[in-house]
Amino acid sequence: MKSATILAILCIIFCLSSPAQAQTTSATPPPRDSTPIITPPDPNILLQGGDTWDEAFLIPEFPFFTTGTTIGYTTNCCVEMCPYEAWGPAVFYTYTAPEDIIVQVDLCGSNYDTGLYIFDENHYVVACNIDFYFDDECGVYVSKIEDAYLEAEQTYFIVVTGMGGSTGDYIFDMTEYQPPVECVLDVSNGIMEGEPPLFDGYQDSFNGGCNSPEFDNPFQELVGDPTGHLSFAGVSGWFMVSYNSNRDTDWFTAEFGPSGIIDVALLPEVESYLFELAPQDCQNVAVAQSQFVESCTEGTMQVSGEPGSIVWLWVGPSIFTQPSYHPDNEYDYLLTLDGLQQGPVAIEKRAWDSIRAIYR
C-alpha cells in the first residue's frame, strides 16, 4: 500500500478531528492560499444536472433519487470550509421545501472521492460532508449529509462535487431524515473502562493509542477471566478542540487464548466502528477488518492469531461530530470478548513502548 494512501486511511479512520484534512484525490489540490484554476466544461459531455448556480436542476418531487456524473462539469464550487474546501467539478440541484423538514442526502454507491454541500439561496453553507463512508458497500471517501434542516418555502442548492478535483459517477438519494433508534444500555455488569469524562479541550492520555503520541501511544489491555471471557463497559463520544469537533477513539490490546480465536461483539448506543488493526506499528497501522455497528444493535467480529500473541482492537464513533439526535457528548457501549488468554479479570492501560517490548 502506498504511503499516501496509508496516511489518508489513518486520518479518515483513526483521527480525532474531521477527516477532511487527509483526502485521497485523483488530482493534486491547489495550495490553500491560491486561487484554484477553473476547469471549463467538456462540450462533448451530456450534462444531466446544472453546471452553475443559475442552471441548477430543479428537484421535481420529494423524496428524490437520481444518478449522475461530475465528469465534464465545471470546477466552480466549493471553496467553503468543511473544514476544507472540496473544489472539484460540481453538479448543482435546487429544491424548495413546501414545509419545514429535516432531510438526508446520501451518495452511497458513488465511485470517487466525493464532496457534498447544501447552500441556502444566498449561497451560505447549511450543511456539508466530505467523508462519511469507508467501506466496500458504499465506497471509500463517499459523502452523506445525515440531517439538514430546511425551512418551508426557502430555496436551497444541493451540490455534488469532488475533493481536490476528483470526478466520477455518483448516486444521489435525498429522503426525509429518520433518527436512529435510541437506547440506554445497562452497563452495570461490565468492567468499567475508567477513562475520565470528555470535555472541550480534552487530551486523551488514557487509551488514545496511536492518536496520542504525546502520551506515548497509550493502549488499554483487555484481559479475560478464568474462562477467557470479558464484558467491558466503555464510553466514547465527542469534544471540541480549537473550534474543531473531535471524537474519542479507544485503542485496545488483547491476548489470544489457547484456541487462537477471539470472538468480539460490540453493542453501542450510537453508530460506531469496531476494527482489528495491523500491522502493530503506529507509523503504518491500518484496518485489517472492520465492522460498522448501528445504534442499539450488536455487531460481531472474529479475529485469529497464534495463542499468546497480541491483537490490536479499536472502537469509536462512526462520525466526527455529535449527532443531533443524541443529547449528550458521551455514549456507552458494551464490548464482549471470548477466547482471551485466561486470567484474573483486570483492565489496565498499556503504553506503546511496553507493547513493542513484546516483539523485541
Q: What is the mean pLDDT of residues 212-233?
A: 96
Q: Answer whether residue 221 shows pLDDT above 50.
A: yes
Is 4 a domain residue?
Answer: no
> How sure is the predictor about 160, in pLDDT bands with cuts at 50, 70 and 90?
very high
Whether residue 239 is found in the same domain as residue 263: yes
d(CA 173, CA 263): 36
SS (H, E, C) the chain: CCHHHHHHHHHHHHCCECHHHCCCCCCCCCCCCCCCCCCCCCCCCCCCCECCCCCCEECCCCCEEEEEECCCCCCCECCCCCCCCCCECCEEEEEECCCCEEEEEECCCCCCCEEEEEEECCCCEEEEECCCEEECCCEEEECEEEEEEECCCCEEEEEEEEHHHCCCEEEEEEEECCCCCCCCCCCCCCEECCCCCCCCCCCCCCCCHHHCHHHCCEEEEEECCCCCEEEEEEEEEEEEECCEEEECCEEEEEEECCCCEEEEEEEECCCEEEEEEECCCCCCCEEEEEEEECCCCCEEEEEECCCCCEEEEEEEECCCCCCCCCCCCEEEEEEEEECECCCCCEEEEEEHHHHHHHCC
Say what the pLDDT of residue 89 is.
94
Is 13 a domain residue?
Answer: no
Is 5 a domain residue?
Answer: no
| Entry pTM | 0.65
Say what the pLDDT of residue 347 is.
45
Whether residue 242 is found in the same domain as residue 103: no
- Tens digits of per-residue pLDDT, 283-317? 999 999 989 899 999 999 999 999 999 999 999 99
Q: Per mean pLDDT, which range of 1-10, 125-134, 152-161 is the poorest? A: 1-10
Whether residue 201 is found in the same domain as residue 135: no
Residue with cell 457501549: 333
Is 3 a domain residue?
Answer: no
155 vs 180: which has the higher pLDDT: 155
Whether residue 160 is found in the same domain as residue 206: no
Domain boundary among 149, 176, 203: 176
Q: Per mean pLDDT, which range of 197-201, 204-208, 248-252, 320-324 is the poorest? A: 320-324
Whether residue 166 is found in the same domain as residue 275: no
d(CA 167, CA 90): 9
Domain boundary among 145, 176, 207: 176
Q: Per mean pLDDT, which range of 81-95, 213-227, 273-287, 334-348 is the poorest? A: 334-348
Q: Per mean pLDDT, which range of 130-134, 184-188, 267-271, 286-290 is the poorest? A: 130-134
Q: Judge whether 257 and 342 are in contact, CB under 8 Å.
A: yes
> How sure is the predictor about 329, in pLDDT bands with cuts at 50, 70 and 90?
very high
Q: Which positions ≥6 away from 214 have C-beta within 8 Å?
A: 203
- Tens digits of per-residue pLDDT, 93-107? 999 999 999 999 999
- Tens digits of per-residue pLDDT, 331-340? 999 999 999 9
36 vs 311: which has the higher pLDDT: 311
Q: Give 233's strand partners.
A: 192, 334
Q: What is the mean pLDDT of residues 350-358?
A: 40
Is 241 a domain residue?
Answer: yes
Domain boundary among 143, 176, 209: 176
d(CA 124, CA 136): 33
| pLDDT, mean over the chain | 84
- How many domains is the chain built from? 2
Q: Answer whether residue 346 shows pLDDT above 50.
A: no
Whether residue 340 is found in the same domain as residue 248: yes
> How sure is the predictor about 146, in pLDDT bands with cuts at 50, 70 and 90?
confident
Whether residue 155 is found in the same domain as residue 195: no
295 vs 182: which has the higher pLDDT: 295
Say what the pLDDT of residue 15 is.
59
Residue 78's CATH number: 2.60.120.380
Q: Answer whether residue 33 shows pLDDT above 60.
A: no
Q: Answer whether residue 155 shows pLDDT above 60.
A: yes
> How sure is the predictor about 217, in pLDDT bands with cuts at 50, 70 and 90?
very high
Hey, what's the cell of 139? 465506497
Q: What is the mean pLDDT of residues 106-121?
A: 95
Is 310 a domain residue?
Answer: yes
Is 338 a domain residue?
Answer: yes
Q: Answer whether residue 11 shows pLDDT above 60.
A: no
Say what the pLDDT of residue 164 is.
87
Measured torsion, CA atoms of residues 346, 348, 351, 353, in degrees rounded to the nearest 10:
-30
Q: Which residue range forms the structural domain that includes residue 222?
A: 191-358
120 HSE (CA, 13 A, CB side)? 11
